[in-house]
Structure 1
Amino acid sequence: MSHDIAKAYQDVLAEIAAAKARRTEVPREAEVTLVAVTKNHDVAAMQTAIAAGAVHVGENRVQEAAKKYAEIGAAVKWHIIGHLQTNKVRQAVKFADLIHSVDTLHLAETIDSEAARIGKVQDVLVQVNLAKEDSKSGVYAEDLEDLLFKVDSLPNLRLRGLMCMAPHYEDAELCRPLFKNMYKIYKKIQEFDYQRANINYLSMGMTNDYQIAVEEGANIVRVGTAIFGPRQY
């Protein structure tokens, strides 16, 4: 393996620490969780990252994640970060520690009923489509409050925060206003009067833009290519 996954993982951690040190409007000491995005990378690559310190892994596809979970198990925390289809929910709730991509009440209700079936309270994030991109899932900001309260009312879900994806710009600096805005929304929704939600996660930033996301308040980043190199298709 010519790409040094262990070194790359440590390099990303160092970049996160440097980005935290550059924060101006966000508390610098706040923890940032690095989710190593392992889609299209094999179990051997994952094991290398885990040996280098990876504790959180992110998968877009439930079937791929389930196969890997069968080999790796609960040695790591499993994040479902891709668009989740309702027909994959039953499989996902068996092992997912955090589902990042709840974007409709229908999906939330499906997760709730499947979690109830196995006696689990499933941690979830609500995905926000702040840039209103047609190609991306997520609730629009103006509909967010309504969805948050509906998700919070479901007994087998625990709402933990928000997730967003910025548009892919060649110049990642263009993402900054969106991340700033997302952090403001995150701080605002923390003040709402929930039944059971515990809002403490803001998942934003990927390989292209995670350093700016951290500077602007992300406390979960989802990084694949910078750790594992280009995807193996």
Structure 2
Amino acid sequence: MSLKDNLEEVLEEIEETRLHSLTGEKVNLIAVSKNHPVEKINELSQYGCLNFGENKVQEIVDKIPLSKNNIKYHMIGNLQSNKVKYIYDKVVLIQSIDRLKLVKEINKRAKKDDIFVDILIQVNISKEEQKGGVNIEDTLDFLENCLDYKNVAIKGLMGIAANTKNQNEIRTSFRNLFKLKEDIINRNYENVSMDYLSMGMSGDYKIAIEEGSNMVRIGTKIFGKREY
């Protein structure tokens, strides 16, 4: 199947699933383009797919000059504080914030430029040590510590489910993150919005949407296997 066919199939499945989701919200698609050439990204943009997720800072830096102007990049992988300077003003959303050191560094640079940088707090819903993210029980404290940094705008939460075939376990982890999002909304923190609940990838995005996700990160089902 072509990239266009793959994209159309994914969009159809997203829309069908959304109709019986927890919220019925519109779902934002982030096409995970890591390790795929910019030519494929530009091709997908012709079909209306404009948001792309990358895991590595260098890959974002290399791809941006070769990408069409309407393409938006999201940082979805582990971000080191010494790499913040390369992308803080070039991506539309940093989805993998799990350390206060990162928030401080982003805020320092954003304040200097008089801009605001949108972020998601990554929550470790799988409880797997190899995955990044704030422990779910520590997320409120972490969020409250972020409030001092006025040039960083918290726009929601991101989570990655466990790598398991147990769908009940996956569903429970997504449900827990949705409940956390609702809790944060009810606390009415100043300058915090829960616009995005980013959860669900190629293998579990239907479950994620059913449990309230309004942003999914899909790579393999659109691009196929990585080229390098």
| Counterpart selection for 1:68 from 63, 66, 70 | 63
Counterpart-to-counterpart distance in 1, 2:187 and 2:87: 28
1:170 paired residue number = 165
Counterpart-to-counterpart distance in 2, 1:74 and 1:173: 41
Runs (4 or more) in structure 1 with deviation over 6 Å come to: none
Q: Gaps spanning 5+ residues in structure 2: where? A: none
1:21 paired residue number = 19
Counterpart-to-counterpart distance in 2, 1:208 and 1:199: 24
| TM-fit CA distance, 1:134 | 0.7
2:155 paired residue number = 160
Q: Deviations over 1:163-189 (max 9, x none)?
A: 000011235454111111111111111
| Counterpart selection for 1:185 from 170, 180, 187 | 180
| TM-fit CA distance, 1:50 | 0.8
Report 1:114-153 matches (<5 A): 114-153=109-148
User: 2:198 aligned with 1:200, yes or no?
Assistant: no
1:48 paired residue number = 43
| Counterpart selection for 2:74 from 76, 79, 85 | 79
Q: Gaps spanning 5+ residues in structure 1: where? A: none
Counterpart-to-counterpart distance in 2, 1:59 and 1:172: 26
Instruction: Tell me the amino acid that sits aligned with residue 216 of structure 2.
Output: V
Q: Is the 8 A contact 1:172 1:208 kept in 2?
A: no
Counterpart-to-counterpart distance in 2, 1:73 and 1:50: 8
Q: Deviations over 1:184-227 (max 9, x none)?
A: 11111112232211221100000010111011100010000000
Counterpart-to-counterpart distance in 2, 1:182 and 1:209: 15
Q: Name the TM-score, length of structure 2 as normaliser.
A: 0.96
Q: Deviations over 1:99-139 (max 9, x none)?
A: 00000111111111122232220000000002221110100
| TM-fit CA distance, 1:47 | 1.2
Percent of residue pairs identical? 37
Q: Is the 8 A contact 2:125 2:174 kept in 1?
A: no
| Counterpart selection for 2:213 from 218, 222, 225 | 218
Matched pairs, number: 228
Q: Which moved more, 1:60-69 or 1:74-83?
A: 74-83
Counterpart-to-counterpart distance in 2, 1:100 and 1:88: 15
Counterpart-to-counterpart distance in 1, 2:117 and 2:30: 18
Counterpart-to-counterpart distance in 1, 2:103 and 2:135: 16
Counterpart-to-counterpart distance in 2, 1:114 and 1:89: 9
| Counterpart selection for 2:87 from 83, 92, 97 | 92
Matched position secondary structure for 1:166: coil
Q: Give RMSD over aligned pairs.
A: 1.3
